[in-house]
Structure 1
């Protein structure tokens, strides 16, 4: 398992490492996908970009106000979601940043250190 930096204080959950299939947030392991917000981290069973559902993501994270943007980890490699999903995110008034899931998890830490009001949806890393 790979560990990430632990020398910075954060409000809310932060990805602290990777497991063979997924992510570690504090001492909790998420072997499937991961939904993460400044307030919570939750397992996410979506395993492909084809199954993305912004309504589900937003309702599971239940943030108020809505997040600035969605940080999407597309799995082991960087792949773009469908144009329909991109339009859905834009219509919700959010930005979308896409990268592979390991990079997204590392970026989450940087953005949370800046106290950005964002959500992350990270597909499994295998």
Structure 2
């Protein structure tokens, strides 16, 4: 698993989202990713809900968030309910939305000093 860490005093902010691209700070990414205020994970992230497994949610929980955002691509697609039980059983809120909405919500929660982590899916081929 490749982790990229920003300056410990800096925070990742989502600066843009479009078809096949997410821009965090000044870097554009063309793949699904996990973003937390001070961490990025790029390897082994599903590009659609059908690939989502409990191990991906465990990676999100490892960031000790208050809330998890699950951006499911260009359309809102709910994962199987049983995948959502683990975060909820640990008292962590989980919200499912399309990736654009998840990007906007991440920034709002970040501005409120909430401990948020997002898995943002980009469909393969953009």
Question: Could you say which TM-score interval applies, normalised by the shorter chain?
Answer: 0.7 to 0.9
Alpha-carbon distance in 2 for matches of 1:49, 1:30: 19
Counterpart in 2 of 1:108? 106
Counterpart in 2 of 1:35? 34
Aligned length: 115
Counterpart in 2 of 1:46? 46
**How far does residue 117 in structure 1 lie from its aligned partner after superposition?**
0.5
Give the one of 85, 88, 103 matched to 1:87: 85
Alpha-carbon distance in 1 for matches of 2:58, 2:27: 22
Asked if 1:124 corresponds to 2:125, the answer is no
Question: C-alpha root-mean-square deviation of aligned residues, in Å?
Answer: 2.2
- Which stretches in structure 1 are left out of the alignment for 5+ residues? 1-9
Q: What are the superposed Cα offsets for residues 87-112 of structure 1, whole Å, 9 maximum, x if unpaired?
A: 12212321111110011101111110
**DSSP-derived class of the 2:100 partner:** helix
TM-score, scaled to structure 2: 0.78
**DSSP-derived class of the 1:24 partner:** strand
With over 3 angstroms needed to count, the CA separation of the structure-2 counterparts of 1:121 and 1:24, relative to structure 1, is same
- Which stretches in structure 2 are left out of the alignment for 5+ residues? 1-8
**How far does residue 12 in structure 1 lie from its aligned partner after superposition?**
0.9
Alpha-carbon distance in 2 for matches of 1:61, 1:86: 12
